[in-house]
Amino acid sequence: MSAIVPETQTRVLNLVQAVNEALDLALERDPRVLLFGEDVGRMGGVFRASDGLQAKYGEHRVFDTPLAESGIVGYGIGLALAGMRPVAEIQFAGFLYPALDQILSHLGRYRHRTRGRYSIPMVIRAPYGGGVHTPEQHADSPEAVLCHVPGVKVVIPSSPERAKGLLLSAIEDPDPVFFLEAIKLYRGVKAEVPQGYYTLPLGKARIVREGEAASLFCYGGMVEVCQKAAEVAAREGVELEVVDLESLTPLDTETIVGSVQKTGRAVVVYEAMRTGGFGAEVAARIAEEAIDFLQAPILRVAGWDAPYPPFSAVEHYYRPDAKRVLEAVRKVLRH
């Protein structure tokens, strides 16, 4: 998918405001776009991502659903088959599990099941990740589960400007896209966001900071963490390269391999459980295509193999921070 170039005029938005603006533009541009989920309509979403949109576009296009995630996803599949462009919100990514039957058995299979006659142009948005002391299951990071579903894309933005352009691309996409938004970033970051409608290509990683000493591969809420680690390392004379994967499926292997060929060292950072996490896939791609360039083992900095601590003042021990990233960097540099 080629990108639509954004306007040069910008204004400062946080990430949830950028998401709201993208949804507004999509609803305005295409009458087939429908927005729905738990508390999405009248309340405007638990994080207010759809604030004001029901009043602007009516209850037939922006509406609430029962507390039934399997029903929300199944309903969206039916709408997409009928020619609509459904955008479903799951209130928290950790609530997706009741919908796994719809996701695993149907969502990504229709293009193959019908030999290309039908696809499911549906977006499923969900907040994910920790850092704001939420209850149990509200901080889960199930991206690896979703990446293992055939026929779907998984996109995780790391800034307001990227969130707006990537979400509009996801809504235009002919196939299902999971769009995960880091809760920690919703109101934790502000940035200049281009006005008007623009899209950014899916399936492309981006280098947000160039360096020669080691590569940090990350996405979503961990990009901010890795940038902080890189700033500290730079003060010690070590320049780290920070690569925002942004799109996990499809994964931009070319950019990953190119970075490792330059630095010779790789640290993968993600906040999901370590075992079976998406960092293992990144490490495997590097091992398959760039092992001859490695000067040290690939290291992972991740959550622990335990449930995310709910309501807890110790969640910073679970969620990776710049200190843990720098410990891994020092280890690969000493090797």
Q: What is the CATH number of the domain that holds 267?
A: 3.40.50.920
Range of the domain at 244: 206-333
Distance CA 84, CA 107 (A): 15
Is 60 part of the annotated catalytic residue set?
Answer: no
One domain, residues 141 and 190: yes
For residue 2, what pLDDT is reported?
60
Catalytic residue among 60, 106, 112, 138, which?
138
Q: Which stretches of the chain score pLDDT less than 50?
A: none
Q: How many domains does the chain have?
A: 2
CA 204 to chain centre: 13
| Distance set, CA 74 to CA 22, 100, 102, 137, 255 (Å) | 24, 10, 6, 22, 35
One domain, residues 251 and 186: no
- 102-140 residue pLDDT tens: 999 999 999 999 999 999 999 999 999 988 888 888 999
Which of the listed residues 194, 218, 253 is the one where a domain comes to its end?
A: 194
* Closest among 101, 277, 73, 253 to 178, alpha carbons compared: 73
Asked whether the beta carbons of 122 and 107 are under 8 A apart, the reply is: yes
For residue 1, what pLDDT is reported?
56
For residue 312, what pLDDT is reported?
77
For residue 132, what pLDDT is reported?
84
Distance CA 321, CA 198 (A): 32
Stated pTM of the model: 0.96
For residue 30, what pLDDT is reported?
98
- 224-259 residue pLDDT tens: 999 999 999 999 999 999 999 999 999 999 999 999
